[in-house]
Amino acid sequence: MSSKPDIHLPRVGDCLHLLHPVRCAVCSRVGACFCGSCRATVLPAPGRACPSALQSVTSAGLHHGSLREAVLALKYARRVDLAGEFAEMAWIAMGASATGWAHLVCPVPLHWSRRISRGYNQAGLLAESIGRLLGAPSVSDLVRKRATPRQVGLSALARRDNVRGAFAAPNTTRLRGARVLLVDDVWTTGATLSECAEALLRSGAAEVRAVTVSCAPEPR
Ligand SMILES: [Zn+2]
């Protein structure tokens, strides 16, 4: 009886992995996109008042230190490999109550012009991964009707004005009566989350909860 020689050819993915090993987005240590040491420094999300349009907002940690750096790497440095890791952290933070609750998972949208210039929507990547964990489809039912200036550096009041009326959810049939989990990278003042939740509710969503990777301290 002849037997084939037991040769394991390396897969393309393995070769790429050797050429470009995964490095921590914060400390550059080889092995994981957000290493255990950096993850161990993540502080708990602060208790904050939930914006009125939302049932709840859950965050995986405080927007500070290693978590802040990693979130910025996902958003601005094309570290899209972090989305899966962050989704798992968000899923754990939500706990068992999240599973079975959401009919739909919906990311906070970017305006199409920013989506093109960045090449991806970080909230969309998070929503896809969170949707897989929850067994609920991720849908891009929210649209940003106008490009809004970046929120960074604006006061809470200015942020609210900046995004007022900026979102709509035109697909009313799918949203009608649905429990929707809204997904974003950071909960800053809550102005964007509120506007998005209001747009979903206007289009018939029954309830909206939100989950973010990180949460800033309560704005003063
Ligand atoms: Zn690290």
Compute the distance from residue 92 Cα to the ligand 1 centre, in Å.
20
pLDDT tens-digit series, residues 21-54: 899 999 999 999 999 999 999 999 998 999 989 9
Q: What is the pLDDT of residue 7?
A: 60
Q: Nearest Cα to 58, choosing from 220, 219, 218, 209?
A: 209
Tell me the three-class secondary structure of the chain, residue by residue: CCCCCCCCCCCHHHHHHHHCCCECCCCCCECCCCCHHHHCCCCCCCCCCCCCCCCCEEEEEECCHHHHHHHHHHHHCCCCCHHHHHHHHHHHHHCHHHCCCCCEEEECCCCHHHHHHHCCCHHHHHHHHHHHHHCCCECCCCEECCCCCCCCCCCHHHHHHHHCCCEECCCHHHHCCCEEEEEEEEECCCHHHHHHHHHHHHCCCCEEEEEEEEECCCCC
Q: Tell me, which fold does domain 43-215 have in CATH?
A: Rossmann fold (3.40.50)
pLDDT tens-digit series, residues 185-209: 999 989 999 999 999 999 999 999 9
Compute the distance from residue 82 Cα to the ligand 1 centre, in Å.
12
Handedness of CA 65, 71, 74, 77 (dihedral sign): negative
Of 5 and 80, the one with more pLDDT: 80
Domain ranges, ordered by start, for the chain: 43-215
Tally Cβ neighbours within 10 Å of residue 115: 14
Compute the distance from residue 8 Cα to the ligand 1 centre, in Å.
32
Compute the distance from residue 44 Cα to the ligand 1 centre, in Å.
18
Cut 0.85: pTM above it: yes
Compute the distance from residue 66 Cα to the ligand 1 centre, in Å.
8
pLDDT tens-digit series, residues 109-124: 988 888 888 999 999 9
The yes-or-no verdict on residue 219 having pLDDT over 80 is: no
Compute the distance from residue 149 Cα to the ligand 1 centre, in Å.
32
Compute the distance from residue 140 Cα to the ligand 1 centre, in Å.
32
Residues with a beta carbon under 5 angstroms from ion ligand 1? 24, 26-27, 29, 35, 38
